Amino acid sequence: MKSAGFGRALVELVVIFVGILTALLADSWWEDRQARHREAEYLVSLAEDFAENETRLTSAISIADTSSAAAAALLAVGPGGTELTTDSLRTLFSRLRRLPTFEPVTKTYDNILGAGDILTLRDGPLRAELADFQSRLTLMNVVQETQERQLVGIQLPYFITHLDFVGTLNLRSDRLEAPEVIPSHFTEARTVIGTREFRNWVAVRLEWSDDLRNQHVRVLARVKAVQGLVRPTS
């Protein structure tokens, strides 16, 4: 009698254990399935973000190249800038004044970190590349923000004081027209071209463009590395 009761109790314990184990396995399977679904969505969104980052960086690098070329051309101009027409000088001044900046798209990665979901991305190298990308952004932002302050504090005042700022306006809006340049003002601006101060200032501007371009190229390398690892999962 006692052995029969013990047997029933043992069976009940086994049934309970199997039920709990089955529930845990089912719950684990469901959580894993949900995690894989989130991972797939993250990978799609990361691919979109980094495609946009590539486009923006390529544009910034192109602007830096244009600015550097303008600086090199102005350094080759003799005193008075007689080798170049007024329109050519206006174009070079306008290009020199442009600062290539990159505004990164990090929404998806920020969401992953904010949700504590970084381990949902099973690819370890991908996680490492994303972290490296963020690290590169930190350094790039320091350089970029420094140059923005230099632009406002040094470059623009120089243009306003020594050149013809009106003549270097680069208006993109269809609603506005660039104001007419007073010829005598631009003639006066030519007097600084070829001076030591002007050449030194342009040389510094060339160095800025090259420095920021180098930062953008390094970030672009990380972007492409991430793109090479963002792929559909099975």
Segments making up each domain of the chain, as ranges: 38-229
Residue 141 phi/psi, 5° resolution? -65, -35
Nearest C-alpha neighbor of 206 from the set 83, 23, 64, 91: 64
Which of 15 and 54 is assigned the larger pLDDT?
Answer: 54
Helices (H) and strands (E) counted in the chain, each on its own, are: 7, 0
- Tell whether the model's pLDDT for residue 224 goes beyond 90: yes
CA pair distance 35, 41, nearest whole angstrom: 10
Separation between Cα atoms, residue 180 and residue 163, nearest integer Å: 15
**105 backbone dihedrals φ, ψ, rounded to 5°:** -100, 110
CA distance 19 to 34: 22
Helix (H, G, I), strand (E, B) or coil at 163: coil
Q: Which of 31, 1, 221 is nearest to 132 (CA)?
A: 221
Counting Cβ atoms within 10 Å, is residue 80 exposed (0-12), middle (13-18) or buried (19+)?
middle
* Pair of tokens at residue 209: 């463009």
Residue 98: how many other CB atoms lie within 10 Å: 16
pLDDT at 213 over 90: yes
Average pLDDT over residues 174-187: 68
Output the pLDDT for position 165: 67
Long-range contact set of residues 128-132: C-beta below 8 Å, sequence gap at least 24: 129/222, 129/225, 129/226, 129/229, 130/46, 130/226, 132/222, 132/225
Report the alpha-carbon distance of residue 204 to residue 147 in Å, rounded: 11
pLDDT at 193: 83
Pick from 65-79, 154-168, 215-229: least confident: 154-168
Percent of all residues in the chain with a pLDDT value above 70, rounded to a whole number: 75
Residue 138 binned pLDDT confidence (cut-offs 50, 70, 90): very high
User: Quick count: other Cβ atoms within 10 Å of Cβ 185?
Assistant: 13
| pLDDT grade for 161, boundaries at 50, 70 and 90 | confident
Per-residue model confidence (pLDDT) at position 86: 74
pLDDT for the residue numbered 186 = 67
Mean pLDDT along residues 134-143:
94
Asked if pLDDT for residue 200 goes beyond 80, the answer is: yes
Q: Report the SS3 class of residue 221.
A: helix
Q: 222 pLDDT exceeds 80? A: yes
pLDDT at res. 179: 65
Q: What is the pTM of this model?
A: 0.79
